[in-house]
Amino acid sequence: MLELRPNCECCDCDLPPEAADAMICTYECTFCADCVNNVLSNVCPNCGGGFVPRPIRPLKARRDGVSRQHQHPSQLRVHTKHTREELMAFAALHKDTAPSDR
C-alpha cells in the first residue's frame, strides 16, 4: 500500500493525501509536479526512473475498511540528501532517455 508521503522531497511543500500535484516513482519517492517538471526533468534522483501522478486514496470508505480513515497517510516527512544543483545535474544526464530505457 502506498505510504502517501506528506511532502515534496525537494522543496518540502505540503502534499496532502488529496493533492493533485503529487508525483511518485515506482519506489514511492514523492515530489511535487513543479519540481518534477522544472528541477528533475521527470528523472527520479534516487532510482533514475520516471514519475506518474500519485493516486488519491478515498477519504470515505466505499467498501468496508478501505479509505484514508482506515489506512492513514504517512506523517513522516522525507527530504532528499542532494542539493538542488546535484538534482539538476543528475536529471540532465538522463532526461533524454525514456523512463522505460533507463
pLDDT at 54: 98
Report if residue 64 sits inside a domain: yes
What pLDDT does 12 receive?
98
- Ranges of the chain whose pLDDT falls below 70: none
What's the domain range around 81? Answer: 22-94
**Residue 48 pLDDT:** 96
Q: In the chain, how many domains are there?
A: 1
Residue 51 in domain: yes
Residue 80 lies in a domain: yes
- Residue 35 in any domain: the answer is yes
Residue 46 to residue 84: CA distance in whole angstroms: 13
Q: Is residue 43 situated within a structural domain? A: yes
Residue 99 is assigned to a structural domain of this protein = no
Q: Do 9 and 30 meet the contact criterion of CB atoms below 8 Å apart?
A: yes
Domain annotation covers residue 54: yes
- pLDDT score for 5: 97
pTM of full prediction above 0.85: yes
Task: Tell me, yes or no, whether 76 lies in a domain.
Answer: yes
Tracing cell 475498511 back to the chain, one arrives at 65
